[in-house]
Structure 1
């Protein structure tokens, strides 16, 4: 059994790390990412509605381009570093199997990171797995821009769109979980 890249010597101790409310908050941090999506969407909605009220029009493409130019240069330097240099900076028994695999993935899939689609395209061979958040946040940024713009310009259609998408965001995971007979919550322990 592996935790990240390190072998687990005592599975009971590892499993104990996830038990209890206070431990689950820290160890289950991936579930807390939803808060950051909520905060990002709330701030974007507020700013976009303020701009629509003040200027009566907003250039959505300009907002996407500004975000792209703000994030992408630094992001691509880090991807380039992982694809070319990082694997040469260390060694060890697991170094090549972990860092070498990361290098290979970054060399093959750097373009999915550039387009912020790495959480959908070749997701099983993702370059820098933690960057799924940047892709998801960028995708939600674009969806939020469109939704808030529609709400600001055509309120009845916008509210209908929000109600429809909100319903689908609950129903699709529910039926997917029910149909596959999966656990409704992420449970990192076996019992």
Structure 2
């Protein structure tokens, strides 16, 4: 598995050869050259790349290009035709929604709103920056010119735990999302006495899905053609193949239940959890509003069950809450699976874990 987790225990060779040769030719040649060293050779055809040769057009690629051209057209028309007035027709309202001038004003609007909670935006900004650093450090480990021995030594220092404990930042986002959702739902209940679940679910879906779809289409069909190189297929192309196969799970926001290895855009597992928890929040807040004592019993019971389940998951699967040098790949994947599913656990099947160590070179 190399599309997300760097493979410290592998020696990666990049071999240049004529484009008329195949992966089987290289495999046979290397097997003959290394036959006296008792080394088996396997060259994967999917890891081969030819410079300046793009993948053939497919339905998904055609759909992606059409989608992004339509977005660019709407952005251009909305920005040029925006006269600062509210649209009268549905088409004018649609164009206003894509106006860059109108949206930039909203992004940088610092006026206070009644439903706004002070300080939350700054806290989310710090969490986002910390997560960016944690993910960037993982991406740096893929670089072939990084001294991985030195990188591992630095990454294993005590202060580096702020990058190895990404769970702190992801869970903080879930906490903030739950807090803001509950805050807004209680305000709606005070005004109306009920929750319009249909409109809220639709609003949530339209808020997340278009941007999520754009990211998946770009990384699956556009990004692989942006560049090439010895490790481009290992990371970018491999991720693209996984997305082509499993993108439908992300459309339904259930991709966090099917394993880290087969997940399209693994860093988006939090979106699936956030959507599922949002759906669960709606009836829970309604019960808490109407039946205060029963609501508090449910809240305390769910919190206690979640804590117990997480403890059992760590105990049963021998999970480490931190990434550290020397951690086995199965152990690391067990941790990510349980973190993505947030407590949906069962007693494990005992497996033999092999510790993968970097070769002495």
After superposition, the Cα gap between the structure-2 partners of 1:137 and 1:77, relative to the gap in structure 1 and judged at 3 Å, is same
Report whether the alignment pairs 1:120 with 2:257.
Answer: yes
Cα distance in structure 1, aligned partners of 2:210 and 2:312: 40
After superposition, the Cα gap between the structure-2 partners of 1:182 and 1:35, relative to the gap in structure 1 and judged at 3 Å, is closer
Please state how far the C-alpha of 1:137 moved relative to its aligned partner.
1.2
Cα distance in structure 2, aligned partners of 1:19 and 1:35: 24
Pairs aligned (count): 189
The answer to whether the 8 A contact 1:152-1:158 is kept is yes
Please state how far the C-alpha of 1:166 moved relative to its aligned partner.
0.6
Determine which structure has more spread, i.e. the larger CA radius of gyration. Answer: 2
Q: Which runs of 5+ in 1 are unaligned?
A: none
The aligned counterpart of 1:54 is 191
The answer to whether the 8 A contact 1:151-1:157 is kept is yes
Please list the CA deviations of residues 12-56 of structure 1 after superposition, one character each: whole Å capped at 9, or x if unmatched: 5423324224x3223433432111111111111111011112210
After superposition, the Cα gap between the structure-2 partners of 1:80 and 1:165, relative to the gap in structure 1 and judged at 3 Å, is same
Please state how far the C-alpha of 1:120 moved relative to its aligned partner.
0.9
The aligned counterpart of 1:95 is 232
Q: What TM-score, normalized to structure 1?
A: 0.87
**1:116-155 alignment to 2 at 5 Å?**
116-121=253-258, 123-155=260-292
Cα distance in structure 2, aligned partners of 1:139 and 1:39: 15
Ranges of 4+ aligned residues in structure 1 off by more than 6 Å: none
What is the aligned counterpart of 1:186 among 322, 345, 354?
Answer: 322
CA RMSD between the two structures? 2.1
Larger fraction in helix: 1
Please state how far the C-alpha of 1:126 moved relative to its aligned partner.
0.9
Please state how far the C-alpha of 1:158 moved relative to its aligned partner.
1.2
The aligned counterpart of 2:181 is 44
Cα distance in structure 1, aligned partners of 2:259 and 2:326: 28
The answer to whether the 8 A contact 2:242-2:263 is kept is yes
Q: 1:152 aligns to what SS in structure 2? A: helix
Please list the CA deviations of residues 78-119 of structure 1 after superposition, one character each: whole Å capped at 9, or x if unmatched: 211222121011011100121111111111111111111111
Q: Which runs of 5+ in 2 are unaligned?
A: 1-6, 9-137, 328-361
After superposition, the Cα gap between the structure-2 partners of 1:142 and 1:15, relative to the gap in structure 1 and judged at 3 Å, is farther
The aligned counterpart of 2:161 is 24
